Each structure stands twice: as C-alpha cells, then as structure tokens.
Structure 1
Amino acid sequence: MHPSHFLILGAQESNLKRELSLSREASEWLFSKHFWGGLNQKYQTIFSQYEEDTLDHNLTNIVAESLQLLISELDDEVEAEVRFRYGWNEKKESLYCVLSRKTLIEEISGLENLMVEASKLNSDVYCQL
C-alpha cells in the first residue's frame, strides 16, 4: 500500500487547493472497490496502481460524481470502521486493512472536491496512484 497524489494542472488561483494526497489506506480502498478499473473499462483510460497518468478535464466531473456515489454508500453504513482485503501474504492468506469510516469519508470527499474544482476550471488532473 502507498498513498496517491493528485494535482490540478494549470490552476493559477492562489486560494485554490491545487493538490491532494490520499492516505495509503484510502488509496488502497479505492482499488479494492475497483474504482479505477471501472473508470478504465467505461472510458478507455489506463489508471493502474503504482502508476502515473493524467485525467482529462472532460472526465473530472464524472470522477467527482462517481466518488459521490461511494461517499453515499459509506454514509449509509452503520459500522464505525471499514474493513477490506488488500492483498495476500506468502502463504496466500488474505491481508486486511481496517480504517475509520469517518476518516475515509473525509479523504474521499477531499478528492471529490478537488475533481469538482478541476471540472469548473476545465483542468486536467495529474494522478499518481
């Protein structure tokens, strides 16, 4: 697991939050939900774990809307923590991550807000996943 970083390209306003980092747990959670894979399949993008790419400005609003759906799902949960499988060890036993649902919502909301701002500016977003 490692963090993901996002940067709105070409944003000139000094008061605009141009960049965001997701914790390694939140980043891994998006992959466990097949968020980027679903985007790749639907829009012929190539976002892969441990890779860098640029999200076209035409997709930033779509990504924001998709993130909002994930946030709504998290809001509907009753458990205080989110648990998900993120890999396997050398014995092929599942590895799990547990994190606060509230913290995850805050992080994913931050990414959603960044995508909304990029959409308003018609700016691409550099993504280091």
Structure 2
Amino acid sequence: MKESTVSVIVDDGTSQTLRLSGVLSEWLFASGFWSEVNEICGTMFDQYEEDEASPDIVLVIQQEIDKKASGLRMSTEPKFEFVRGWAADWTPLKVSANTEDVLEELKIFRNFLDAGISTTSNAIFSL
C-alpha cells in the first residue's frame, strides 16, 4: 500500500512533513474523502499525484477529516474492512483496519494541518 506525505513550510522557513500510513492513505481514497474535498473545493486531489493546497483548502480538508473521524467514532466495531483496489482478475483487494488506529492517525493528520494552517504557506500533498 502506498503511503502519502503532507508538507508545510512553517513560519521560520523550514519544512515539516507528515507521513500517512498506507492504510490511512488508501482508506481516504476508498472512503471518498478526497472526492468530497475535490467536489467542495473544485480541486483535483488524486492518488499517485502531488498537489498544493492553500490555507482555505486546508481548512476544508480539516473539516472533512473531522467528519470522517466522527463517523468512525460512531462505530462499535474494533475493526473495519474496505476495498483498496482490484486484482487483475477483478478480485477485490481488501484491507482490514483497526478503528482506533485510524482514528488516532486522523487526529495526528488534523493536528499537523492545524499547526501548519497558522502560517500563510500552502501545504503539499503527495498522495
């Protein structure tokens, strides 16, 4: 599974980068997260691409992270499964994820963006 990275330039001019696990990265695409962001913002965040987001788009991404986290918190299941792609014979490639682990990583992702959005710099998403 492909991991993603998010980078921001902080106030002192240095770059900070967060690596998202393959599970979170794949789930964000499989769950329609990036499609929702694209629809709201008129952007084209796509898998295996690098895209830049202005602070106003980062704010929308944070709001969408909050929605995904809220949905996961409502689950009573300790694990969930999703389809991350398809094999050559069209067999679904399924991933099992621990709900609490994904919630924790969403929290880290959101907090990272929150720290970066206080600057006027854009964020770079390598998805």
Q: TM-score with structure 2 length normalisation?
A: 0.91
The amino acid of 2:105's aligned partner reads E
Partners of 1:122 and 1:90 in 2: how far apart? 44
Checking the alignment, whether the CA contact within 8 Å between 2:8 and 2:17 is kept in structure 1 is yes
Q: How many residues align?
A: 127
Question: In the alignment, which of 65, 68, 74 is matched to residue 67 of structure 1?
Answer: 65
Question: In the alignment, which of 86, 89, 103 is matched to residue 105 of structure 1?
Answer: 103
Match of 2:19 in 1: 21
Checking the alignment, whether the CA contact within 8 Å between 2:53 and 2:123 is kept in structure 1 is yes
SS at match of 2:18: strand
Match of 1:7 in 2: 7
Q: CA RMSD in A?
A: 1.7
SS at match of 2:61: helix
Deviation at 1:13, TM superposition (A): 7.9
Deviation at 1:3, TM superposition (A): 0.2
Q: Identity across aligned pairs (percent)?
A: 25
The within-5 A match list for 1:1-129 is: 1-12=1-12, 18-129=16-127
SS at match of 2:108: helix
Deviation at 1:87, TM superposition (A): 1.1
Deviation at 1:51, TM superposition (A): 0.5
Uncovered stretches (5+) of structure 1, i.e. residues with no partner: none
Checking the alignment, whether the CA contact within 8 Å between 2:37 and 2:64 is kept in structure 1 is no
SS at match of 1:123: coil
Uncovered stretches (5+) of structure 2, i.e. residues with no partner: none
The amino acid of 2:6's aligned partner reads F
SS at match of 1:62: helix
Runs (4+) of structure 1 exceeding 3 A deviation are none
The amino acid of 1:9's aligned partner reads I
